[in-house]
Amino acid sequence: MTDELQKLVEILRDSEKIVFFGGAGVSTESGIPDFRSANGLWNEKLKVELTPEQLVSHTYFERFPKEFFDFYRDKLVYPDAEPNGCHKALAHLEELGKLLAIVTQNIDGLHQAAVSKTVYELHGSVLRNYCMDCGTFYDADYVMKTAPEPPRCAKCGGLVKPDVVLYEEPLDGDVMQNAADAIARADTLIIGGTSLVVYPAAGFIRYFHGKHLVVINKTETRADRSAELVLRTPIGETMDAAVKAL
């Protein structure tokens, strides 16, 4: 065991109220590309003249729903992805009574698939969809497999929208408040798989005033200088090994 990993184990042992703040890098070991790395979705060459941000904007969804869903189904939904070592380790920490909450920028639902219970999804989830007219909810299969183009409500015919926060849309106020409260109560904050460049989500770390700040990310983040421990190792392997060593 490396000195850095041993230090992480010691921090976990010393902690009673851990909050994990995660981004796209948490799910890369599950086969879901991150958005901003060199190999990420945002740097993929698209055969269109629009940026990925424009393709997942509220304006584009309203104006071109069919084209929006073509991109959404192909690039943002990964129904075969499975929880990796990080997702499972966090679920185990919660089971041990050490994890207070997970605050995630991801929309893939893998934390819930790993049976984590307290998960604040800042950007929503691809697993939930709803009719914009009558509010009827639909699962991911309805949007991916059984719905017409674009997906319409079986009850009223209204347009069905993924329950995700698109560009130009605000974050959910209740989710934001719950996430901020959890971070403020934490004795340990682990930041993982995020470059901390997307706002307002990245600003949540300002609520932390606890004892241990840990960063696990392959590239530099603006939280590195304040962190007690910084690891550049794969987050799935790292969290899995640390929790198993408790």
Q: What are the residue numbers of the active site?
A: 123
Per-residue HEC secondary structure of the chain comes to CCHHHHHHHHHHHHCCCEEEEECHHHCHHHCCCCCCCCCCHHHCCCCCCCCHHHHCEHHHHHHCHHHHHHHHHHHCCCCCCCCCHHHHHHHHHHHCCCEEEEEECCCCCHHHHCCCCCEEECCEEEEEEEECCCCCEECHHHHHHHCCCCCECCCCCCEEEEEECCECCCCCHHHHHHHHHHHHHCCEEEEECCCCCCCCHHHHHHHCCCCEEEEECCCCCCCHHHCCEEECCCHHHHHHHHHHCC
C-alpha distance across the termini of the chain, in Å: 13
User: Scanning the structure block, which residue is given the tokens 């185990």?
Assistant: 92
